[in-house]
A = this chain, B = another copy of it.
Amino acid sequence: MPVNPQVGRLDHVRTPEQTLFTPRTPRVVAARRLHRRRDRETTGRFLAEGPQAVREALARPGVVAELFGTPTALDRYAELVAAATDGAVPVSPLSDDALDALTETVAPQGIVAVCHRIDVPIDTALDRAPRLVAVLAEIRDPGNAGTVLRTADAAGAGAVVFAGNAVDPYNGKCVRSSAGSLFHLDLVRATEPVGAVERLRAAGLTVLAASGYGETDLDELTDAGGLARPTAWLFGSEAHGLPPELAEAADARVRVPLHGRAESLNLAAAAAVCLYASARALRAGPGVSTAERA
């Protein structure tokens, strides 16, 4: 867990409900700017909206910098307010207008947290010897990225790497699509994807590139025991696939078999099939942990 030295400096006295923050309150103005990538980059903060995301964020000490909610929502989610207060996180009530300013969904659920960025260097993630890793290479669509992150969490991945010119993992739609999973695993940002692949392999992980044109059939690889060892899966964008140099850098390029007449699977479906094939093989097979191999 990242330790954040700023938390101690924040005021954690709850503002009385009668003085609701408006869209013009300076802290709301500052938080609203986090809808923009540039401001997320410069401040190292991002927004997580809705009770599920807020709950998962609060479960990681030091992540939530500030909690906002309408009076109704702060009453409804009293356990989240209590967790915030226990963690010395300031909680402030919002007017409905201010909530609209801080949220992007049509029907916001009244509560939103300002969070400190949570990504870790790839070596930190690898030190924990994850047996399953997903690498999102050049994936631009935030909904797709968040969905794959959620699926990776469900399949038991220990880390997800946003590599190259991928979407910002702190993009609001990506955070929402991850349904809280953003906070469950080690998030890594790697600007240099081929270097990240080299680090993954050096840590003992087999690197597999998911590709509709791959030379290796997923079922055949599974039958041959090729998934029963720590694995990093590389996924590219649905529109452009994996960059050729990244596909080449992998140990194998693996295609999900197409039994019917569909020309391809969409990204979320392909990632689910690959990650769950690994999850099943890792649990069933004579897997060797990264730590044991190192």
Please state if A260 and B153 are interface contacts (CB–CB under 8 Å). yes
Contacts A268-B147, A268-B268, A273-B273; is A259 near B154 (CB within 8 Å)? Answer: yes
Cβ of A272 within 8 Å of any chain B Cβ, yes or no, is yes
CA distance A157 to B262 in the complex (A): 11
Contact of A151 with B269 in the complex, beta carbons under 8 Å: yes
Residues of B within 8 A of A258 (CB): 154
Interchain nearest-CB distance for A249 vs B (Å) = 26
- Check A154 against B260 for contact (C-beta < 8 Å): yes
A223 to chain B, nearest CB (A): 8
The segment from A70-78, A81-89, A167-175, A177-185 found at the interface with B is: A177-185
Find chain B residues with CB under 8 A from A273 CB. Answer: 272-273, 276
Given A260-B181, A260-B184, A273-B273, verify A154-B279 contact (CB < 8 Å): no
Chain B residues with Cβ below 8 Å from A268 are 147, 266, 268-269, 272
Given contacts A147-B266, A154-B265, A269-B269, contact A260 B219 (CB under 8 A): no
Binary CB contact string for chain A from 140 to 176 against chain B (1 if under 8 A, 0 otherwise): 0000000100111111110000000000000000000
Most buried by B among A152, A180, A272: A272
- Give the CA-CA distance A279 to B154 in the complex, in Å: 21
Residues of B within 8 A of A272 (CB): 265, 268-270, 272-273
Task: Give 16 pairs: A residue, B residue, CB < 8 Å, sorted on A.
Answer: A150-B262, A150-B265, A151-B265, A151-B269, A154-B262, A154-B264, A154-B269, A156-B260, A179-B263, A179-B264, A181-B260, A181-B262, A219-B280, A259-B279, A268-B272, A273-B276
